[in-house]
Structure 1
Amino acid sequence: MKGRKMFSQNLQKLRSEKNLSQEQLADKIGVSRQTISAWESGKASPELDKITTISKLFSVSIDELVGEIKTEASNFDKKEYEKKYSKIALLRASGIFILFSGIAFSAFFFEKGVIAGIGLMISLAISVPLFILAKNTDELTNNKLIKSKKSLENVFTDSEIEFAAKNKILGSILLVSLLFIAIAIHQIIVYLTNFGENLANAIFMLLLGIALASTTYANSVFAKIQNFEDNKAENIKTNEKIGFFAAILMLSLTAIYLIYSFISKDWSSAEILFPIGGIAIGIYAIFVKKLHR
């Protein structure tokens, strides 16, 4: 009797957390609404196969479903989780924009040497701490998600997942569009005006910063959805490999770009280097994921 009572209480609690009506829950597990009502009132108990289905649906063990649910697993605050990833997205996007603003400043004042260097160092001094803070917040928030044992279906609705995915796609489209616009503006200023190459380089880097900041924001917000898939044991090592490769490649390309540009006074090489880096990361990610299937 105690087990039946605990099950009925747990079922009501889990259904309420997921904002499901008795009828909606019944449809998901293939029973009638009256059956759900009987289970929740303690008048009847489900068969083992239904208990298994319910435990998978709510991402809890069978022992927890018929006994006491661990506090750690149930204390998941969706609003706080989303708020954290909005903060992470803003930190990363701000860091990207500030960094590229510093590069744009340096490109514009290139002939003045010291001033250009100071501008770049200030942008690094501001952006790097933002990246570190975003990384630490991401790790702490994701660790809480792992401990909660929540599944994607328990937290987000299909419409919320679709909305986040569309925003990610729009961010990628914006990146490509602004990159081509930046290249076009750079060429127009250099070859069709008398404003000088320094201004062309500065505007190019500023537009590139806006493009990267925008897509970074969209991708960081989408991470709140992607984490559920990434946290599966079989995907963790794969994503770590891709992330490490991407970080090393982009840091190397940035270092090469800055060194080459300062020595050659040609700041337009970003038109080639960064698109190549993005393509290389994409190809590597596809290769690694196919290899681990």
Structure 2
Amino acid sequence: MGFSNNLQSLRSQRNMTQERLAMLLGVSRQAISKWESEKAYPEMDKLLMICDLFGCTLDDLVLGDVNNPQAFRGSGHTHEADAGKRPDGEPSTGTAAMLATSMTSMASSATGRAPATDITGYDAHRKSFALRIASGVAALIAGTAFMPLFGEGGSEEGTGMFFAVAIMFIAIVIGLALIIPAGMSHAEFRRKHPFVENFYTDEDHAQSARQLAVGIVIGIACILAGVAVVVFSDAMDGAGNTAVGWSNAATTVLLLAVSIGTFCFILFGVRHGMLDINEYNQESEQEQTSHTSHGKYGRISGAVCSVIMIVATIVALLALFGGDPSNMGFFGLSLPFWMAWVIGGLLCGVTNVVFEVLDDGEKKRS
């Protein structure tokens, strides 16, 4: 029969879709489709995993006929009896055995297809990723909250600015320590699981929508409370109570309120957005297509952008710690220190466009 026909036959015996098989093997649905249409061929480790999953031998899968397996002709065994065993007859262990057990339960389902389950741990990853990203961004915003309190106008001593910068530096470290590992773990999860079957129910979506609505209300309430404090401080200053320092304290409260509100927006927003597994699968497919379509200029573009942002960070830090943070010299212009990152981002955008054009030209020539 050949490998492609054998694979289709094994799937039909288990009433299994291409999506579920792709999820069990850790590949995309398009990869399964290419295998079955003979446009591509799996690697050896995937072939062995298929043998483990369906309880067949490598010879029968690749060269023989899985509907008439030579390995079992004289033994009286059937595929169903040997599900969860290796081609040599020994019990499977580890991940392959668990996947084989999962497939056996699917085959015995009265509907022909078992309800979708979270066998990849996607839900736990979704909640952890959202929490770390939201906490990291909130920490970055909260780090700037104490600048007005200890900075200019908040302290007559030079140590005031030192404390403010130290707090902001600690907040930046904490924020990056949360955001960067979260991004790396998400990329690693996507690499291991390019396809995830949609196991969320309508009730899950409805519950997430309610949580998002509550999070938005809490976030807006926090920001409005901070604004109310600022308005109250302006009223106190207008009444002649400037010595109390209401303005600086109110600005600190406002920034802290904004950080809490932002935490709520991101936490519940990311959790709700990642409930759309169909979009997750489409993004994985686009990433795989992008990796194969990018030429040498596309790879160079990433390196150039990294260098640009590193230089922008150095310039911003020099302006922040070595001079006046609100007056950074840039080609004769006086700009705040954070404009270095804005300019760096714009340069990265221009760089990506230029290298994309060069990449397209290279593809047309080839």
Compute the TM-score of the two structures, normalised by the length of structure 2. Answer: 0.43
How far is 1:149 from its partner?
1.5
Compared CA separation, residues 137 and 163, structure 1 to 2 (3 A): farther
Point out where structure 1 has 5 or more consecutive residues left out of the alignment. 9-38, 262-276, 278-293
Aligned-partner Cα distance in 2 for 1:87–1:185:
34
Distance in structure 1 (CA, Å) of the matches to 2:21 and 2:10: 14
**1:141 aligned onto 2:185:** yes
Q: Give the structure 1 partner of residue 195 of structure 2.
A: 150
Which residue in 2 is equivalent to 1:203? 250
Greater helix share, structure number:
1
Q: Secondary structure at the match of 1:153?
A: coil
C-alpha deviation, 1:129, in angstroms: 0.9
2:209 is matched with 162
Q: Deviation at 1:219?
A: 0.8
Structure 1 partner of 2:364 = none
Q: Which segments of 5 or more consecutive residues in structure 2 lack a partner in the other structure?
A: 36-45, 54-94, 97-117, 292-301, 328-341, 343-366
Residue deviations 1:93-139 (CA, integer Å, cap 9, x gap): 23432x13422431486342313112212212311111211222222
2:174 match: 130
Contact preservation (8 Å) 2:140, 2:175: yes
Asked if 1:89 corresponds to 2:93, the answer is: no
Q: Write the mapping of 1:18-33 to structure 2, written as runs, cut at 5 A.
A: none
Name the CA shift for 1:219/1:180 in 2 (closer, same or farther; >3 Å): same
Q: How many residues align?
A: 216
Matched to 2:198, the amino acid is E
Q: Give the corresponding residue for 2:230.
A: 183
Computed over aligned residues only, the root mean square deviation of the Cα atoms, in angstroms, reads 5.2
SS of 1:86 mapped into structure 2: helix
Deviation at 1:178, TM superposition (A): 3.7
1:213 and 2:231 correspond: no
Which of structures 1 and 2 has the bigger CA Rg?
2
Q: Distance in 1 between the 2:267 and 2:290 partners?
A: 18
Q: Identity across aligned pairs (percent)?
A: 8
Change (3 A) 1:176 1:87: closer
For 1:136 and 1:53, how far apart are their aligned partners in 2?
31
Instruction: Map residues 221-232 of structure 1 onto 2, 5 A cutoff.
Output: 221-224=268-271, 225-226=273-274, 228=280, 232=286
Q: 1:210 to 1:3 in 2, by over 3 A?
A: same
1:7 equivalent in alignment to 2:51: no
Counterpart Cα distance in 2 of 1:164 and 1:143 = 26
Within the candidate set 141, 146, 156, 1:112 is matched to: 156
| SS of alignment partner, residue 113 of structure 1 | coil
Read off the aligned partner of 2:251 and give its amino acid letter: F
Aligned to 1:110, the other structure's residue is in SS state coil
Tell me how far 1:52 sits from its aligned partner: 5.7
Amino acid at match of 1:184: V
* 1:146 to partner: Cα distance: 1.9
Alignment partners' CA distance in 1, 2:197 and 2:213: 17
Q: Shift in Å at residue 215 of structure 1?
A: 1.3
1:3–1:57: structure 2 CA closer, same or farther, 3 Å change rule?
A: closer
What displacement does 1:79 show?
4.8
Question: What is the alpha-carbon distance in structure 1 between the residues aligned to residue 215 and residue 197 of structure 2?
Answer: 17
> Which amino acid is the alignment partner of residue 103 of structure 1?
M
1:173 corresponds, among 220, 230, 235, to 220
Higher relative contact order (CA 8 A, sep 6+): 1
Classify 1:118/1:141 alpha carbon distance in 2 versus 1 (closer, same or farther; 3 Å): same
- Determine helix, strand or coil for the equivalent of 1:112: coil
Q: Is the 8 A contact 2:147 2:161 kept in 1?
A: no
Whole-angstrom CA distance in 2 between matches of 1:93 and 1:122: 17
Matched to 2:11, the amino acid is F
